Amino acid sequence: MAILLLSMVACGQSPVTHDIRPGYGVTGIGWLSDFFPPLRGAPGDTRIYVLDSGIAGGTALILGGTHANEIAGIMAAVLLVERAEVRRGKLIVIPHANNAAFGYTDPTCPTCGPWVSFSSGNAARFFRYGSRLTNPAFQSPDSSEYIHPSGLSFAGWEARNLNRVYPGRADGTLTEKIAHAIVQLVLAEEIDYVFDLHEAGITSRLAYTLVCHPRALELGAMAVMDLELRGISMKLEPSREEFRGLSHRELGDLSKGQVFLLETPNPGQESGRHNPDVIDDPQYPVALRAGVHLSFVQEILAIGSRLGLPQVEVVGVPEFEKLQSDGLAAWLNW
C-alpha cells in the first residue's frame, strides 16, 4: 500500500499548487475537501479562500477555473483573493475549481500553456493554463457516453467536464466528486450568490454572455442593462431546464442562491488561431476580460443589496476602467 501511495504522489496524484498571494481581506484558507473529506489528497482537491467581514450578511461563492483554460475567470478570482476586502457578509473564492485540469496542457491549444506570466519590474509571476477537462491521467478511459444522474446522455469525454457533471456523485468519478464537494460547500455555507466564471471562443455565441438560473434572471437583467450604460455589454440568457449538469442549473435548483455563469471571449479558445495571445491580445486582453467578470460580480452584489437580498459588500477590487488602464499585473500582489 505504501508503495502504491508513493507512486501516486510521484505521478502527480495530489493537488496541484498555485502561486496565490492572499491579501488582507482573506480571513481563512481551507480545502474543498473540508466539505467532502474523500477528496482530500486527490488531484481534484483545491484551495478555498474565505473573506469574512464578520458582519452579518449574505455569502457569495466565486468559482474560477471550472475550465482550467479559461484564464480570465481564474485571474478574476485571483484578484479577489489578493485584493478584495469584504465589508459585509462573506466571500468564498475557489480560483481553481477543477484543479485536476491544471496539470496538463489544453490539447486544443498547445501553445497556450502550460504557463502564462505577468511581470512587474524585474519580477514575474506564473499561473497555470490548463485544460477544459480533467486530466485523463486521473480519470480514464472515457466511456462512449456519459450518463448524467438525471439520465441525460453526453459524449463520454464530458464525464471529465466539471460543468456537465453537477450535482456530481459522492461515489462517482473524480470529476463527479469535485462537483459533489462544491455542492456540499454551497449547501453547508448556505450560499446566496454563485458566480461561475468562464470563457468561450471569441466568435462563439456564448462570448460575452451572462447565464442566469431562472431565480436570478431579474437580477441578471438589471446588471446587464446597468453595465451596458458603462460600456460593458453582455448578452442575457436564462438557464434552461434541459441544461442539466451545468452549474447555473444544478446549483440553482439545489440551493436558494442566485446562480450565474459568465462567459468572456478568450482568443485561446478560438479554433484556427495560431499562437493566440491569451493575456495581451490587443482586442481581448485578459485585463478586459477579467474586468468584465469582476464588474458583473460587483454589480450583481450591489443590485442584490438594493433589492433586499442578502448583502455582500466587496471593496478593493479595481474598477473596470482602472484595470484596463493599469493592466492586470499592477493589481496582483508582488
Output 171 or 242, the one with its CB closest to another protein.
242
Output 120 or 233, the one with its CB closest to another protein.
233
- Going by C-beta distance under 8 Å and a sequence separation of 6 or more, which residues neighbour residue 82? 20, 21, 22, 23, 331, 332, 333
Q: How far apart, in whole angstroms, are the C-alpha atoms of residue 162 and residue 196? A: 11
What's at 114, amino acid-wise?
P
**Residues of span 237-296 touching another protein by CB under 8 A:** 237-238, 240-242
Output 42 or 227, the one with its CB closest to another protein.
227
321 lies in the site for another protein, by CB under 8 A? no
Which of 8, 221, 254, 302: binder of another protein (CB under 8 A)? 221
Output 40 or 306, the one with its CB closest to another protein.
306
Q: How far apart, in whole angstroms, are the C-alpha atoms of residue 317 and residue 309? A: 21
Residues 165, 159 contacting (CB under 8 angstroms): yes
Residues 277, 26 contacting (CB under 8 angstroms): no
142 lies in the site for another protein, by CB under 8 A? no
Which of 190, 218, 321, 326: binder of another protein (CB under 8 A)? 218
Residue found under cell 496542457: 105
Residue 210, CA atoms < 13 Å, CB-side half-sphere: 32
Which of 6, 11, 29, 225: binder of another protein (CB under 8 A)? 225
Q: How many CB atoms lie within 10 A of CB 161?
A: 22
Which of 21, 205, 256, 306: binder of another protein (CB under 8 A)? 205
* Length of the chain in terms of residues written: 334
Residues 117, 126 contacting (CB under 8 angstroms): yes
**Which cell goes with 101?**
485540469
Which of 17, 120, 143, 233: binder of another protein (CB under 8 A)? 233
Output 2 or 229, the one with its CB closest to another protein.
229
- Where does this chain touch another protein (CB under 8 A) — which range of 83-91, 166-174, 177-185, 219-227? 219-227
Whole-number minimum distance, CB 110 to another protein, in Å?
Answer: 31
DSSP-derived 3-state class of residue 41: coil
Output 40 or 205, the one with its CB closest to another protein.
205
Output 189 or 270, the one with its CB closest to another protein.
270
Q: How far apart, in whole angstroms, are the C-alpha atoms of residue 110 and residue 112? A: 6
Q: Which residues bind another protein (CB under 8 A)?
A: 205, 217-218, 221-222, 224-226, 228-229, 233, 235-238, 240-242
